[in-house]
A and B are shown apart, each in its own frame.
Chain A
Amino acid sequence: MQALVALAKALFGKLSYCSKSGALAGLVAGFFCALGLLQLAETPMSLSTTDLFKGGLALGLLAWLVLLLVIGVLLRYGLKQVALFAFIIAVITALLTVFINYAIQVPVLAVLIGLLVGILVGLLLCWFCRRR
Chain B
Amino acid sequence: MSSPKPICGTQGAGSTDSVWDSILLLWGLVGTVAGVIGAITNAAATTTIPILGITGAGVGLIGLSAAAAALAVVFTVLAFAIDRCSHPDGLNTCSSGVVNEIVESFDEAADEVFPFIAMHDRVDVVVKRDYWHLVQNAAQFVKCAGDSIGSPIIQCLYETPAVCAAAVGATVGAIVGGIGGIVVGIIVGAAIGCAGSGPFYFFCLLLACIIAAIIAAVIALVGAFIGGQIGKAAADDPSPTNTEGSNIRLGDYITTKGNLIVSASFDGARVYWFVTETTLHGQSTGSPQFSHTDPDTNLTMDACPRDFEPPK
Cβ of A74 within 8 Å of any chain B Cβ, yes or no, is: yes
A129 at the binding interface (Cβ < 8 Å):
no
Q: For the complex formed, measure the closest distance between the CB of B274 and the CB atoms of chain A, giving whole angstroms.
A: 18
Per-position 1/0 for B16-41, Cβ under 8 A of A = 11111111111110011011101100
Contact B206 A11 (CB under 8 A): no
Whether the pair B28, A13 counts as a contact (CB closer than 8 A) is: no
A74 & B76 in contact (Cβ 8 Å cutoff):
yes
Q: Are B209 and A74 in contact (CB under 8 A)?
A: no
Interface residues of A in 42-95 (CB under 8 A from B): 42-43, 45, 47-48, 51, 54-55, 58, 62, 70-71, 73-76
Residue interface mask B191-205, A partner, CB < 8 A = 1: 000000111011101
Known: A35-B61, A70-B23. A13 touches B18 (CB 8 A): yes
Question: Using Cβ atoms and an 8 Å threshold, which residues of chain B touch A117?
Answer: none
- For A107-132 the 0/1 string (1 means CB < 8 A from B) is 11111101100000000000000000
B46-85 Cβ-contact flags toward A at 8 Å (1 or 0): 0000000000001001001100100000001000101000
The total of chain A residues at the interface (CB under 8 A) is 51
Say whether A96 faces chain B, with CB atoms less than 8 Å apart. no
Question: In the complex where A45-B199, A111-B32 touch, is A12 in contact with B25 (Cβ < 8 A)?
Answer: yes
Q: Is A15 an interface residue (CB 8 A)?
A: yes
Q: B44 at interface (Cβ–Cβ under 8 A)?
A: yes
- A112: which of B22, B28, B64, B210 is its contact (CB, 8 Å)? B28
Question: Residues of A contacting B17 with CB < 8 Å?
Answer: 20, 75
In the complex, which residue of chain A has the Cβ closest to the Cβ of B43? A38
Which residues of the partner chain A approach B65 to less than 8 Å between Cβ atoms? 31-32, 35
Chain A, residues 8-25, CB within 8 Å of chain B (1/0): the string is 110111111100100110
Contact partners of B234 in chain A: CB under 8 A:
none
B138 within 8 A of A: no
A27-B31, A73-B114 known; A7+B25 contact, CB < 8 A? yes
Residue of A nearest to B77 (CB): A74
| Pair B23/A24 contact, Cβ less than 8 Å | yes
Which residues of B lie under 8 Å from residue A20 when comparing CB positions? 15, 17, 20-21, 24
A103 at the interface (CB under 8 A from B): no
- Main SS of the interface on chain B? helix
B45 close to chain A: CB less than 8 A:
yes
Is B42 interfacial (CB-CB < 8 Å)?
yes
- Supposing A5-B82, A24-B24, A27-B31 touch, asked if A74 and B117 sit within 8 A by C-beta, the answer is yes
Q: Which of A9, A48, A112 has the most CB of B within 10 A?
A: A9
Bound Cα distance A112, B31 (Å): 9
B12 interfacial by beta-carbon distance below 8 Å: no
Asked if residues A15 and B14 are in contact (CB atoms below 8 Å), the reply is yes
* B7 contacts chain A at the CB level, 8 A cutoff: no
Question: Which residues from chain B contact A14 at a C-beta distance below 8 Å?
Answer: 14-15
Q: Which residue of A lies closest to B60 (CB)?
A: A38
CA distance A31 to B15 in the complex (A): 25
B21 touches A108 (CB 8 A): no
Chain B proximity of A115: nearest CB distance (Å): 6
User: A residues touching B (Cβ–Cβ < 8 Å)?
Assistant: 1, 4-5, 7-9, 11-17, 20, 23-24, 27, 30-32, 34-36, 38-43, 45, 47-48, 51, 54-55, 58, 62, 70-71, 73-76, 107-112, 114-115
Q: List 24 A-B contacts (CB under 8 A).
A: A1-B82, A8-B24, A20-B17, A23-B24, A27-B27, A27-B31, A30-B31, A34-B35, A35-B64, A35-B209, A38-B61, A39-B44, A39-B61, A39-B202, A39-B206, A40-B202, A45-B199, A47-B199, A55-B206, A70-B23, A76-B110, A76-B117, A107-B35, A108-B39
Q: Report, nearest first, the 5 A-B pairs whose CB atoms are least far apart.
A: A42-B44, A111-B31, A8-B21, A8-B25, A34-B35
